């Protein structure tokens, strides 16, 4: 059959250059999550930022550095008069500034609240990193599942092709039917090549989150049975929203802003600087000492201290509304993802228990009818393409469900959501 040689040659060449689906070791999710939490560069940066915030706490509660002064005072310009003139003397003094009582404690509270806010942000970053690992992992999982579907369906298209060739050889079929079957096999090879390119892209993005070199080799994701969610929507909304580190971080911002108001109010009160001096004189002149106190006067309080209080109160209002906005956003996101999860479950059941068996049955019947001359080739090909599409939709919904659960874990802090 000379008409079929070019198409067979194309398919043979494409199959020769196409690499088989990787048979590398299984890629498991839990070790990847542990690796990301340990090596992700954003997490390491956040850890350093959190440690720096902890170091600021003892600094905030410490007194300002004391000041030491020493010098010499001479009488006259013509000669060194130390021991000869009463005013000639060596001078030594030390001074220490003492903030108004309560200011240092408030500064320590401010530093502590800021550190607590960074701690919440750090926990939130870890949750988002876990979510990202899961999303990329299941994207890769879906690609491999689609490759498996293509491998399986290529064999079914080969059955159609063999039937078309047999019908044409016996004079019962048309040349066009053979070409149609071979063309569909070629289209599957094209999809396979596109999926292989997606594997490289997904592996690169996953390696970045893991803190690996972007070209590091990754295996094939292990088969998944599906994550079970043991919480109702009401439970997630009423209980686990309050455990979210994103909400807790905003609440700690409110607490930090309230401390800043108290600190701003304390600035109406003066600080004290105590200075102790010693004056060394020689000869018949006795040494002298002094003790003085310097107090700053908040004279410009209308344009300084009072404005600082108003600023701090405005920041409290801002933080309080951010809490309300975050709570609304969390509730909305939880509802959306819970709905997505339930929709995916219903569609998976529809595909698995209804459409896939029915379409498979229709395909087998159409193929048998085609081989006996009762059905057209287009009908058989259409049934097989529908079967491939629905099976791909099933695994797509499986992955969307896993991603929705991952986002629920992130939004609720993952405490008690997945036992």
C-alpha 334/C-alpha 276 separation (Å) is 64
Average pLDDT over residues 302-331: 93
Confidence of residue 13 (pLDDT cuts 50, 70, 90): very low
**Whole-number mean pLDDT of the chain?**
84
d(CA 344, CA 81): 97
Q: Of 202-211, 235-244, 396-405, give the lowest mean pLDDT range.
A: 235-244
pLDDT of residue 162: 65
Q: Is 213 helix (H, G, I), strand (E, B) or coil?
A: coil
Q: Pick 199 or 377 by higher pLDDT.
A: 199
User: Above 50 in pLDDT, residue 241?
Assistant: yes
* pTM for the whole structure: 0.80
Judge whether 34 and 210 are in contact, CB under 8 Å: no
pLDDT digits 0-9 by tens, 363-374: 778 777 766 667
Tokens of 129: 């990193």
Q: What pLDDT, on the 0 to 100 scale, is given for residue 180?
A: 67
CB of 291 closer than 8 Å to CB of 284: no
How many angstroms separate the CA atoms of 144 and 49, rounded? 39
pLDDT bin (cut points 50, 70, 90) of residue 394 is very high
Instruction: Quote the tokens at residue 49.
Output: 């930022």
pLDDT, tens digit, for every residue of 251-298? 999 999 999 999 999 999 999 999 999 999 988 888 999 999 999 999
Per-residue model confidence as pLDDT tens digits over 154-181: 776 666 666 666 666 666 656 666 666 6
């Amino acid at each position: 059959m000379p008409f079929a040689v070019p198409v067979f040659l194309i398919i043979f060449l494409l199959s020769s250059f196409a690499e088989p689906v990787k048979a590398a070791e299984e890629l498991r999710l839990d070790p990847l999550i542990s690796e990301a939490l340990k090596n992700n560069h954003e997490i390491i940066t956040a850890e350093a930022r959190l440690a720096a915030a902890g170091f600021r706490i003892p600094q905030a509660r410490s007194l300002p550095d004391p000041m030491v002064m020493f010098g010499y005072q001479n009488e006259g310009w013509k000669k060194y008069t130390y021991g000869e003139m009463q005013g000639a003397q060596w001078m030594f003094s030390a001074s220490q500034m003492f903030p108004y009582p309560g200011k240092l404690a408030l500064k320590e509270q401010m530093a502590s609240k800021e550190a607590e806010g960074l701690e919440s942000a750090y926990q939130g970053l870890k949750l988002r990193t876990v979510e990202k690992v899961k999303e990329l992992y299941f994207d890769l999982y879906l690609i491999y599942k689609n490759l498996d579907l293509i491998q399986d369906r290529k064999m079914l298209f080969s059955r159609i092709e063999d039937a078309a060739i047999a019908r044409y050889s016996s004079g019962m079929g048309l040349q066009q039917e053979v070409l149609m079957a071979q063309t569909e096999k070629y289209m599957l090879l094209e999809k396979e090549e596109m999926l292989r390119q997606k594997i490289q892209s997904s592996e690169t993005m996953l390696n970045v989150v893991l803190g690996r070199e972007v070209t590091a080799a990754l295996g094939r994701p292990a088969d998944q049975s599906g994550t079970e969610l043991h919480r109702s929507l009401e439970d997630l909304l009423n209980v686990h929203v309050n455990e979210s580190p994103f909400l807790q971080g905003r609440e700690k911002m409110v607490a930090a802003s309230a401390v800043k108001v108290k600190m701003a109010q304390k600035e109406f009160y003066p600080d004290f600087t105590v200075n102790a001096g010693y004056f060394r004189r020689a000869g018949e002149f006795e040494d002298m000492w002094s003790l003085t106190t310097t107090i700053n006067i908040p004279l410009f309080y209308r344009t300084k201290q009072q404005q600082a209080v108003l600023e701090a109160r405005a920041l409290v209002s801002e933080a309080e509304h951010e809490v309300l906005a975050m709570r609304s956003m969390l509730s909305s996101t939880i509802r959306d993802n819970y709905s997505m999860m339930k929709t995916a479950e219903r569609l998976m059941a529809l595909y698995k228990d209804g459409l896939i068996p029915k379409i498979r049955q229709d395909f087998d019947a159409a193929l048998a009818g085609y081989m006996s001359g009762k059905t057209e080739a287009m009908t058989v090909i259409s049934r097989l393409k529908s079967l491939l599409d629905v099976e791909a939709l099933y695994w797509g919904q499986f992955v969307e469900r896993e991603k929705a659960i991952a986002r629920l874990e992130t939004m609720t802090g993952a405490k008690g959501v997945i036992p």
